[in-house]
Amino acid sequence: MGPETALGQACQILHEGGEKLGHAFVELSSLTSLVREAGFIKVHDEQFLWPSNTWPKDSQLKELAIVNNANVKAGMEGFILGLGTRGFGLTREEVADLASRCRDELDQKSIHAYWPM
């Protein structure tokens, strides 16, 4: 998602806002090594891509997308509220507007986005 989309702006808030406030997101690709460094020995890393809405043709991905879409939409404002207001100086109303636009984009089947898990 590019910065011209609401989802791109929300992702920017999550990543840059976390860094600004000292709570940077841990990249998915580094989790395996962090777990090993913590002392775990038998570590298995399996990554998945969860679709943002029901655009996939595969029935299992479509079912996963229904749950993922509802979950992300329900939490969107909460995900970006603290980082948006404290890290970017947005008002609560601006965050609510951005979250609303994100929810709209999450339902657009022309946007073939995945969430890495």
pLDDT one-digit tens code per residue, 40-64: 999 999 988 999 999 999 999 999 9
For 72, the enclosing helix (H) or strand (E) is helix 59-82
For 79, the enclosing helix (H) or strand (E) is helix 59-82
3-state secondary structure (DSSP) of residue 90: coil
pLDDT over threshold 80, residue 3: no
What's the pTM value of the predicted model, to 2 decimals? 0.83
* Apex 75 CA angle, 70 and 79, nearest 5: 145
Distance CA 63, CA 115 (A): 15
pLDDT tens track for 74-114: 999 999 999 999 999 999 999 999 999 999 999 999 988 88
What token pair was written down for 75? 């939490």
